[in-house]
Chains A and B, each alone.
Chain A
């Protein structure tokens, strides 16, 4: 019997969502390309932007694909596929699905076989995540006009604006660097009793605990350090050797892949205890 989570109709819904994303992305590419030409941006610059953006996106896209398969164990493959194609990310989707299931006496740790549970999960995931779209067009223009006004003043103000923009970017990057040095990801999971059933408190509600799923450790720090070193070396090479100048825009994805390669290398050559060392024990409770 075909699983109700992976029927032809479910696949049709997924293809509808994909068609929408394609239409929106292509619309903006065509409009931007035309305006870029009007502004005198060279075809080479725009083609380079496209190529480097593809290369840049492949590895993170594969890691998103992995999360689709993580969620697929409970939800079937089509729903996580839809949710991670529009808006979703692993943390939000897991919390939304687990919250819905907890209210219905289920859990993401087992496959959903009840249609009502599944339908509730789909509604919870959607209603939880679409909120920014309700007010984005109202505030987006106002926010950007304010910034546009600030950066179009004097040269000095413009320079300060550029530095503040760079500072904000560095702020974003720093959050991820800090997490690679000393962060962890926890997921709320139900506590199980001796018989393997969800334990309940006096009010009859499920007891949950924060379980560590990911943690920074030796490998994440080494990957981070090597990504920085490889990128600096590639940037220096592109500056020094004239023939490599046109490849400068590919330095970033190349450095990213090389650093991931270093992570694999270290996981093979380091003693297993060191290679798997993390600050917070995976599977432990926080």
Chain B
């Protein structure tokens, strides 16, 4: 156990150093652009813009951290929050890798596999975007107006999550019913609900369904603990 904690502790130290280095690097981008262009935004306008964006982005940021951190592993978390595209790429990629390697999240093995997978995914995405921008920016302009191309890439997410979902639903099909129904109901009421908020609802629905369906795993212990507490209280009163 202590060796396990030691490894996780080291990952957190590395992650924190890379995290703050990334923060500094990202802040350098607008500074350098302003220096190169010799023009800076006015403080008044920036105050207005941040005043509009902060409630939306920062609240979403807090929800994302609380939702994703438990599932990505330590190394995967630090990498994902720097490279972005978490819900549509890094998270499913890490989950798929752990599933294939038959390891569990929050174990050292899960940590290793999830980190390798998310790091490789970050490299692949960076290379694909860089090669695409440099080599294909002219070709892509016409390709993005092509119907065949659009039919394939407008449906990346249904293809990705359908395939990923199948492997989970095959094992835990009962757990999938409540969150999908809840998600669809929320979208029937408010079709443009953002994926961050929707995900929060479906995760809560899924966890409640799991607690009810797998009652036998906790209810006896819960009952016994309650009885023990009652007996101890009665004994104390006597």
Q: Report the Cα distance A54→B119, complex, angstroms.
A: 10
Q: Which residues of B contact A275 (CB under 8 A)?
A: 151
Known contacts A85-B129, A152-B1, A223-B158; A166 and B175 CB within 8 A of each other: yes
Question: Which residues of A are found within 8 Å of B34, using beta-carbon distances?
Answer: 119, 122-123
Tally of contact residues, A, Cβ under 8 A: 161
Identity of the chain B residue whose Cβ is nearest the Cβ of A180 in the assembled complex: B158
B46 touches A123 (CB 8 A): yes
Contact call B77/A180, Cβ cutoff below 8 A? no
Chain A contacts with B in 127-160, Cβ cutoff 8 A: 127-137, 139-141, 143-144, 147-148, 151-152, 156, 159-160
| Contact, CB under 8 Å: A21 / B97 | no
Given contacts A57-B121, A223-B162, contact A64 B85 (CB under 8 A): yes
Return the contact of A99 from the options B52, B64, B118 (Cβ within 8 A): B52
Task: Judge whether B168 and A256 touch: CB under 8 Å.
Answer: no
A60 to chain B: closest residue by CB: B89
The 6 nearest A-B residue pairs measured at CB: A178-B183, A227-B162, A171-B203, A171-B206, A174-B179, A137-B16
Q: Which residues of B contact A219 (CB under 8 A)?
A: 151, 154-155
Decide if A91 touches B116 in the complex (CB within 8 Å): no
Tell me the number of A-to-B contacts counted with CB atoms below 8 Å.
555
For chain B, the bracket of interface size reads 35 or more
Asked if A178 and B180 make an inter-chain contact with CB atoms under 8 angstroms apart, the answer reads yes
User: Given the interface contacts A99-B53, A184-B192, does A179 sit within 8 Å of B180 by beta carbon?
Assistant: no
Closest Cβ of chain B to A98, distance in Å, is 10
Return the contact of A141 from the options B12, B92, B191, B199 (Cβ within 8 A). B12
Residue A100 is within 8 A (CB to CB) of chain B in the complex: yes
Determine whether A194 belongs to the interface, using a CB cutoff of 8 Å to chain B: no
Report A-chain residues with C-beta under 8 Å of the C-beta of B201. Answer: 175
